[in-house]
A and B are shown apart, each in its own frame.
Chain A
Amino acid sequence: MAPETKTDLSALAVEFRDVSLTYVARDRCTVALENVHLAVRPSEFVAIVGPSGCGKTTFLKLTSGLLRPSGGEVWVEGRPVRGPLKIVGMAFQNPTLLPWRTTLENVLLPLEIVQPHRQQYRRGRAAYRAKALELLRSVGLDGFADRHPWQLSGGMQQRASLCRALIHEPDILLLDEPFGALDAFTREELWLVLQRLAADRGCTVILVTHDLREAIFLADTVYVMSRRPGKLVAQWEVGFPRPRELADCFTEGFLELFQGIRSQIGEVREAL
């Protein structure tokens, strides 16, 4: 179990201070998040699990600055979030690749937008391409750089989407159920890919998922979110050594933790 280092708040990668969010649509108010407190250390791998529709995606959008909280404050790297952040990379449940771009061009997209790369893009084009190709190779997509997204399988598209989220070397990686639509085998394969990428880069990762096994396998800390209005109701430290292997999912410690969190999610569901 990693020790808590809460003394220096500015050193936190992400911090939620009593954050609430209410959607107002026509005459109805929906409370998506209520009084969420959370602190994520740099290089920490955090997973948030909860039933679908509990506000997990809202949580990520708040972190990335796509949404503004209606109460409380979100801090990233010691500064309050006021708008979309370039130090953040995002991958969504749908790969959301642009169909008119090849895989390589899709991966290069952030560099055409995020400063300082945007200014250097024309001059450094060759270097950027090399970097993108290297990244594609590291996820096993070499040879598919010039294909269009629809020519790739779902798992390959999701790999490319991960590459796109990482190409501008963000400090924080936000993943919104990125493997949710994949079959079990592909999913497990991509867990290993993600674990390696996160370890290589030392970036902070926040993974939102409804797959508890995925959360425990990948994360240092697992948070359980309740159903709407979303609240973080529990925090579990996962102390297994890294790198983890798929076989670790069947060790006694893993299963014990799995059962513990699972029964707690059951209680959260019953409570409604």
Chain B
Amino acid sequence: MTGRERFVNYGLPALTLLVLFLLWEGGVYAFKLPRFILPAPSVVAQSLWQWRNAIWSHALQTLYTTLAGFGVAVGFGLVLGWIVGFSPLVYKALYPVLIGFNSIPKVAIVPVLVIWFGIGTVPAVLTAFLISFFPIVVNVATGLATLEPELQDVLRSLGAGKLQIFRKVGLPRTLPYFFASMKVAVTLAFVGSVISETVASNRGVGYLMIAASSRFDVPLVFAGLLVIAALGVVLYAAFAVLEGRLTSWAYRR
């Protein structure tokens, strides 16, 4: 990587973030906003440092529930996406149900999950799963359904069966779609687990933020928000790297 590329990839986003924080800091002082309305970044940072141990353990909990829910979503979404994309019949039968389900605000489901499973880890994992599997299904199904008939003909003319066509063409062909959806899904999974934690849990960043806001400890609320944002960025970046490794052909690199 050249120096310029390194700057564009890492330096530029960092610079943007710094400018954003400076504007925020400046705005808070200029308008003399009280810290329980909008705390300055420096105050948030102080709070972050002061509560680092509690934040760390709650963040781990959130990371754990998010990844667990996301993991289930990937497995489930991949298989369902393949089935839906492979069979036009299943597609027709299932699609309205899927779209209807995805339209339901997941925060409305959390109370039901609590009645079934109690509060804590399980509803958080499930909410993360429920909110993040949809984009994976849609993308993988699209990847399969838009398979070029010419590519299928190449394999069919060799006497390949449906399963072989799927393995040799369908599966690799859906990979770019799959990774694109993973990047969306992993950030959604955070939304899901944090929603569930704010409604029904005594662990996790979501709980931490609710507890802090009930004490008017707004700097700690913002610290929680920053932690979630940072976790989201890190996971997104991880999948972007994985994507670059496994589907570089799709980007012609």
| A interface residues, Cβ below 8 angstroms from B | 61, 64-66, 83-86, 88, 90, 92, 94, 96, 98-100, 109-110, 112-114, 148, 150, 164, 168
Judge whether B157 and A90 touch: CB under 8 Å. yes
**Chain A residues, CB < 8 A from B172:** 98, 100
Which of the residues B154, B168, B249 comes within 8 Å of A99, measured between beta carbons?
A: B249
The yes or no answer to B164 lying at the interface (CB within 8 A) is yes
Q: Which of B159, B164, B252 is within 8 Å of A85, CB to CB?
A: B159
**In the bound complex, do residue B159 and residue A100 qualify as a contact, i.e. CB atoms below 8 Å apart?**
no
In this complex, the interface size class of chain B, counting residues with CB under 8 Å from chain A, is 20 to 34
Name the interface residues of B154-175: CB closer than 8 Å to any CB of A: 154-160, 164, 168-169, 172-173, 175
Contact (Cβ within 8 A) B168 A84? no
CA distance A90 to B169 in the complex (A): 17
Give the contacting residue for B252; candidates A64, A88, A150, A168; CB below 8 A: A150
Q: Which of B154, B156, B158 contacts A92 (CB 8 A)?
A: B154
Docked Cα-Cα span, A168 to B155, in Å, equals 13
Which A residues lie within 8 Å of B148 (CB)? 96
Does B18 sit within 8 A of A, measured CB to CB?
no
Of all chain B residues, the one with the shortest Cβ separation from A102 is B249
Contact residues of B between 127 and 177, Cβ < 8 Å to A: 148, 150-151, 153-160, 164, 168-169, 172-173, 175
B154 touches A100 (CB 8 A): no
Confirm or deny: B250 has a beta carbon within 8 angstroms of a beta carbon on chain A. yes
Whether B157 pairs with A112 at a CB distance below 8 angstroms is no
Q: In the complex, which residue of chain A has the Cβ closest to the Cβ of B155? A: A113
CA distance A99 to B151 in the complex (A): 11
**Can you add 10 more A-B contacts, CB < 8 Å, to A99-B250, A100-B249, A113-B159?**
A84-B160, A90-B153, A92-B153, A98-B151, A98-B168, A99-B249, A100-B172, A109-B158, A113-B168, A114-B159
Contacts of A90 in B (CB 8 A): 153-154, 157
What is the interface of chain B, defined by CB distance below 8 A to chain A?
148, 150-151, 153-160, 164, 168-169, 172-173, 175, 247, 249-250, 252
A-B contact count (CB 8 A): 60
Given contacts A86-B158, A110-B158, contact A66 B168 (CB under 8 A): no
A98 vs B60: C-alpha distance in the bound complex, in angstroms? 42
Question: Are A94 and B158 in contact, CB atoms less than 8 angstroms apart?
Answer: no
- Which of A66, A98, A148 meets B157, CB within 8 Å? A66
Among residues of A, the one whose C-beta sits closest to the C-beta of B171 is A100
Closest A residue to B154 by CB, please name it.
Answer: A96
Residues A84 and B250 in contact, CB atoms below 8 Å apart: no
In the complex, A86→B156 CA distance in Å? 10
Chain A residues, CB < 8 A from B173: 100
Q: Is the CB of B158 within 8 A of A114?
A: yes
Residues in A with CB closer than 8 Å to B252 are 148, 150
Smallest beta-carbon distance B110→chain A, Å: 41
Residues of A within 8 A of B159 (CB): 83-86, 113-114
21 contacts between A and B (CB under 8 A): A64-B157, A65-B157, A66-B156, A66-B157, A84-B159, A85-B159, A86-B158, A90-B154, A92-B153, A94-B150, A96-B148, A96-B151, A98-B172, A99-B249, A100-B172, A100-B173, A112-B168, A113-B164, A148-B252, A150-B249, A150-B252
